[in-house]
Structure 1
Amino acid sequence: MISRLRELAPKSIRHKLIVASIACILVPAALTLLIYNSLTQEAVKRQAIANAEDSLQLVNGSVTNSLKGMLTIANYVQTNPGLKAYFKLAAANNVSGNEYQRFMDQNRVLEQLDTLTVVGQNSYVTILLTNDKYYMNYSVSDYNPLELKKKPWFRKMTELKGLESYWAGVEPTELAYDKFDHPYQVTVARTLRLDSTEIYGYAVVTIMEDQLHDIFGNLSAGQKVVLLDGENHIVSGGDPESIGKPFPYVNAVNSLQASEVVAIAGERYLVVQQQLSFNGWRLVLMQPYKESIVDISSIFNRVFVIQLISFFVFLLLLITLVRAFTKPLVRLGKVTTAVQRGNLLVRSGVRGNDEIGRLGLMFDQMLDRVKEMIAEVSDTQARKRKAELKMLQAQINPHFLFNVLNSIRMKVMKRGDPESAKMISSLSMLLRMTISREEDEIFLHEEIDLVSHYVSLMNLRQKEEARVQLDIDPRAFLIKVPRFFLQPLVENALIHGLSQQPGVISIRADVEESYTVLSVTDNGLGMNEVRLESIAGRMQSAGTEMSSGHEEPKGSFSGMGMSNVVERMRMLFGEDFVINVRSEIGSGTTIEMHIPHREEIRDV
């Protein structure tokens, strides 16, 4: 993966500058656009919710006025002294006067009921007394008030107290004259009581549902409002066929604590709801979220497009300037390529007062000097190649040894002995790391592979197998460490910690801000405090062989003791390198190293 990334990395300085410039512009611009987009969406959402709440507030006021108008009529009937006195006498069959006088009194009552409708909406008022006398502002041919007693809600009227009202909700229109043009009606009822709280009559006020529905027609496009009763049935609004039926999205709406955007039936809706203050009903506004933000988001989209165009314009300008500034470097690069191919006569001709001009001059002078020295070097190199050839002929090629071991492994594998083949493979890998690698520092992942092969060899030698458990931060794999610095720790854990018994050796690496914490832990025998303090003192001097509680065994594969490891680590990383040993009898031993970060770790 790392080699693949290196192949894809830009090769020329011009491309590196362009990529760096693009990155320096693109990353902040992308972050800015992402933050802008996030904030914009949140601002658009808040504005859309505020607009919807304002719209619903206006609807709420109109609906409240309409419904409170019904209550006003009921209050007037219940509190007007003249009407109240007349209805009490009529309920007790004590209306005085001759027949003409009684007729005139009844007409005055009916005229007063007719005047109650002059409040901006048609209201149908019915006064039904307990002796089955009734008074209303409509014709009995349209509807017989005695039919009210057959309604299911009429029996609940006895439960009302004082000025309490019963909202019957929405019902099919009973008035014959209005049934076809106005299919639904909304009714509120109230009891008329004597001072002894005995009921002597009922005041029923009815309006047509479409008077409420007309209020919802003034909303913005896409906004739909429904009026729900206390049982979540639709009183008004929405599809006419849904009037009186349960609200289909009641579960989604009831789960909201405030105005919010929710997914309903696979589409996002803006949902706003407000409670009516007097009867437990509520208004619910639903609008497709896309339609609610179309006007607001268009403004933000224009700003976004302008920013995007500006970004690309400045990016093209930057690339043009970088190309102009790096043109002499490209010329130097082409000359270098020609020199690499063997053409020592080519010259760059790059001159100037800046660093690139001076570099071109010195490069041309260097080529002149190289041409003069090449003759002298040719003779020396020829003699050197002859000496190296003779030396190579006198040595055994390590690759010959690896190939022979690989051939032996294949033959053993073919003969059905996979364990021996595995041992030969691990041995070949260890020899390759020992013989063919000249550098003293390797990557940590190579050291981990080396330890894995070593444990595999040790498991083949002993009866019980030990298991290596790795927990390595991926960033730690590319730090440079000395070769064979983990193998002595693992070897001591195998031989002395686990005493060649089955167990687990855990290798853990965590990358901190300024150092990497690397630990080797076994679940073996452990050691006492006296031995632990002795080892801690010896680690400070790093002059003697030691391990996690035992002397380094002679004949170990690496040939390096613990003291050698500590000394090499301190030579490489300085006094900032710290090593600690923790152990308890029966709980195993942990060796923890704090490896300081050098310059190269900051690039990992």
Structure 2
Amino acid sequence: MRFPVFSWRQKLMITSLLCLVLPTVLTLVLTGLYTKNELKNKAVAKSEQSLEVAELYESNLMKDMINAFNSIQYDSEMITDLRVAWTKYKKDNTGTVDFFSFKQIAEKLERITFFGGQTYVTILLPNGLYFTNYSTYKNDLASMYEEPWLKKLSKEPTNTTSWLGTQRNYVKADAEKTPNLVTIVRTFQLYNHSPNAYIIMSKPEMQFSQIFSKYAADQVMMLLDEDGKIISHTNADQIGLTFKESSTGNVVMWNGLEYLSVSHPLPFAGWSMRSLTPYHSVTSKIGNVFNYVFILQIVFFMIFAIVLLYFLNQWTKPIMRVARTASKVEKGFLEERSNVQGRDEIGHLGSAFDKMLDRFEEMIRQIEWEQNRKRMAELELLQAQINPHFLFNTLNSIRMRAILKGEHEIGGIIGSLSTLLRMTINRNNEFVPLHEEVGTVEHYMQLMNFRHHEGVTLTVNLASDSLLESIPRFTLQPLIENAYIHGLKQKQGEISISAWKNAFFLLIEIKDTGVGISEEKLKEIKSGTPMSGIGLKNVSERLQIIYGEMFAMELDSTPGSGLSILLKIPLNAREGNGDAPSHSGG
């Protein structure tokens, strides 16, 4: 099947129509998705704000009950009064107690103030003695001792706090007005090893749910325990039920309806706050938004069509002229020009196209000239190269001929020079064994003594276990050169190299018997002032880059007594051993 061939004008018109229609459709679709997500996010943010206030209120209620526990349990006078009452109650063995004799206990309970209003406080002592801050008329609190939760708590350690959640109101005088209570119980002991006593705090459930009614009518709030059981709800019929949901992101199914769900944990007993916003109330607002968007799209469509027709008229002729010029250039007519002028984009395009053609021939000539220069430079470079191995082999030949003629000293000097040359041209290994690096230094000292006719003595003392330890090439030679030239001033003296190991470091010490460094200069170097000696600076910076902060260079000197340089190189640092300590450990 052959497809029709369209001219660029037809393609431009088709593209223009697509550019008008497709953005409109895509914008409507994307706007719908964005609007839906935006409304959803705003609803979630609103629920988050509501929950933050409600969470603060609920947390204050719980903290208030905890503080009441502490004010009773850790009040020494209260505990003393309770002990006296309990002792007298057991001693009388009558099953009753003269509450007027212990009215100070009741008065203290009544003086406790609570956030949020009414709070029922009950203190249950062993063997049936109890105190409250409410009237016990027609209340048989002895039945509390038979409650399953109390029997369970009797086996728990002292100071155990149990969050019972919601239960029926046990204060009969208020049961009709506030049928449900939110209760917390804590165990304590009057004496060591005595049976558990109990402090019971109960607040009407309405104190917890009253904050929920202050928000939007379509927003459902509830207080849940760690198992998802509803503790407090604006609808009393929901209290005691288990909140079960099937969720997809923030959208949950509950009681057959979709809700936007937001949850906040509370800092007590695994309880949490939950806010539910009907999902249909959020999505119902999208229709109005779509109407506004559709009208805006029609307006933009008309404006864009007018602008597009104008630019099509402006672009057609100049683009055709540039296209004809490009076609002729393709056939080899490099002298052809479009001569399109103007201040708009098409004018710049035509002018740039003509300038490109003007420079095309110039670039060809430039490339040919550069290629010729490049070939000449490569030839000159090949002619200027000297093979270092040729020099090395030539020096060895001269050395052997000097030895054969009896010039053993000259032969030794040439051998040392050959060894240094071989170490210089051999770049296969960045790291060499310590003994090989010291051997290079010994050859260097022979050459320096030969050059300056001075008897500088090199003493080497390497521990046997340090000989095969690897260090970077040319680590010691700059330090020996520094000692020879700046320390000994190229005069007689002694330079020593010592090396040994400890658990974490390879330690290399270079000493000389030269002029040393003044105390002020040494303090400046130790305080971080950049080193003036090029050898010292280069070695320090190079080893710092290789080994990082584990490497250290320590200098010790006094004027006239020479300089001591101690290198602390971490063992196995290049293998990534992270167990080495800092260099301060020595």
TM score, norm. by length of structure 1 = 0.45
